[in-house]
A and B are shown apart, each in its own frame.
Chain A
Amino acid sequence: MSSHHEAHRDERGADLAPGEDTQDPKGIVQRVQGYLIGLVLAASLTAASFWALKSGLIYGPGVPVALIALAIAQMGVHLVFFLHITTGPDNANNVLALAFGVLIVALVLIGSIWIMANLDHNTMPAGMMQQMQR
């Protein structure tokens, strides 16, 4: 009985490795469908990005915001449908690692842009400095 129990635990497992969609190798049709859905979603989000830039239908200053939102959405699609990082309990470790990575990436990106913009703003243009020395 205990060997049955072992096998039962093994096939279900406690975790899914990153990139694993299932531990059940059957159901090829569903798995291909998963990748197809991801492909269609990602392609439409890409097309929407190019459209948002080229069509001119979006209010000019709002275009960068739309582009960034679409890019983040597409990254989410890639994570879920291609890398199979989900919110399921079998994925808790993968998601926690990802969350830490995102935190560091955000700190580096936003921090750099913020500080450099601030320095840029506080640095006097060269011409103005010469005028003051006269």
Chain B
Amino acid sequence: MSNPAAGKTSDGEDPHNLGHDDDVPISEQGPAPKRIVVAYGFWIFLLSDFILFSGFFAGYAVLSGATAGGPSGRELFELPLVAVETALLLVSSFTCGLAGIALTVRNMRWFQSTMAATFVLGAGFLALEAYEFTHLIGEGAGPGRSAFLSAFFALVGCHGLHVLLGLVWLTTMMAQVGAKGFRDDIERRVQCFALFWHALDIIWVAVFTMVYLLGSGT
């Protein structure tokens, strides 16, 4: 056994344990704690989801000029609407972060209220997107009009579908934490949900830049 003093001094001066003055080598420390394994696995899934979206983005980038004589993004997109959508999703990411903090300090009232706020903001985003889609289809600019619009509806619709699934997941988490309390397994699920929700916001950054801003600029 090494002397306990070694661990003590590293407490203040070596917060990341770079000195590796452990008794057990890393290969013999056994599996990582479950919360790390679960979140890391979910992180891998999220990265694979990014790769799925990259296919839709590539399709959109290639087809964005193929309007087949129909309307282009410049004529169709309403930037004020997109700005509000972006704000809603960004603030919902913030409230979701607050819910994560409330979860770790086990404050039920704050957790439920910040999750509810996240739900309202996410639902607002989805309502605006539904309005935009029905508006476009009503104008005769539906997904069947041109390759550009097919790619647009596929990409933005795929993101909207993810947000919808996120809302279902969010409601489930509120119910589970409410009914069963801050149990370890439920806590891990909420952490995965928070990762999912933040990742959706990252994809939206790419969507509003590549589809809406670049689309109405050119």
Contact = CB atoms under 8 A, between A and B. Distances in A.
A126 interface: no
A129 interface: no
Interface string A17-43: 111100001001001100110110011
Interface in B156-196: 191, 194-195
Interface string A89-114: 11001100110110011001101110
B127 interface: no
Interface residues of A, number: 59
A78 B43 contact: no
A19 B4 contact: no
Contacts of A39: 90-91, 93-94
B23 A49 contact: no
A113 B202 CA distance: 21
Interface string A36-77: 101100110010011001100000000110011011001100
A67 B213 contact: yes
Given A18-B42, A20-B39, A53-B217, A75 B61 contact: no
Given A18-B195, A39-B91, A94-B43, A68 B61 contact: no
A5 B7 CA distance: 7
A133 interface: no
Contacts of B90: 39, 42-43, 46
B217 A63 contact: yes
A2 interface: yes
A53 B216 contact: yes
Contact of A71 (B35, B94, B209): B209
A70 B16 CA distance: 32
Dominant secondary structure at the A interface: helix
B55 interface: yes
Nearest to A108: B54
A50 B47 contact: no
A82 B58 contact: no
B97 interface: yes
A105 B201 CA distance: 17
Contacts of B218: 64
Contacts of A67: 209, 213-214, 217
Contacts of A128: none
Interface string B40-84: 101110011011001101110110000000000000000100010
15 contacts: A5-B7, A15-B32, A17-B191, A18-B42, A19-B43, A31-B101, A35-B97, A46-B90, A64-B214, A70-B209, A78-B205, A82-B93, A98-B47, A101-B50, A116-B62
Interface of B: 1, 4, 7, 11, 15-18, 22-23, 26, 29, 32-33, 35-36, 38-40, 42-44, 47-48, 50-51, 54-55, 57-59, 61-62, 79, 83, 86-87, 90-91, 93-94, 97-98, 100-101, 104-105, 191, 194-195, 198-199, 201-202, 205-206, 208-210, 213-214, 216-218
Given A14-B26, A20-B39, 5 more contacts: A5-B23, A19-B100, A43-B87, A75-B206, A78-B201
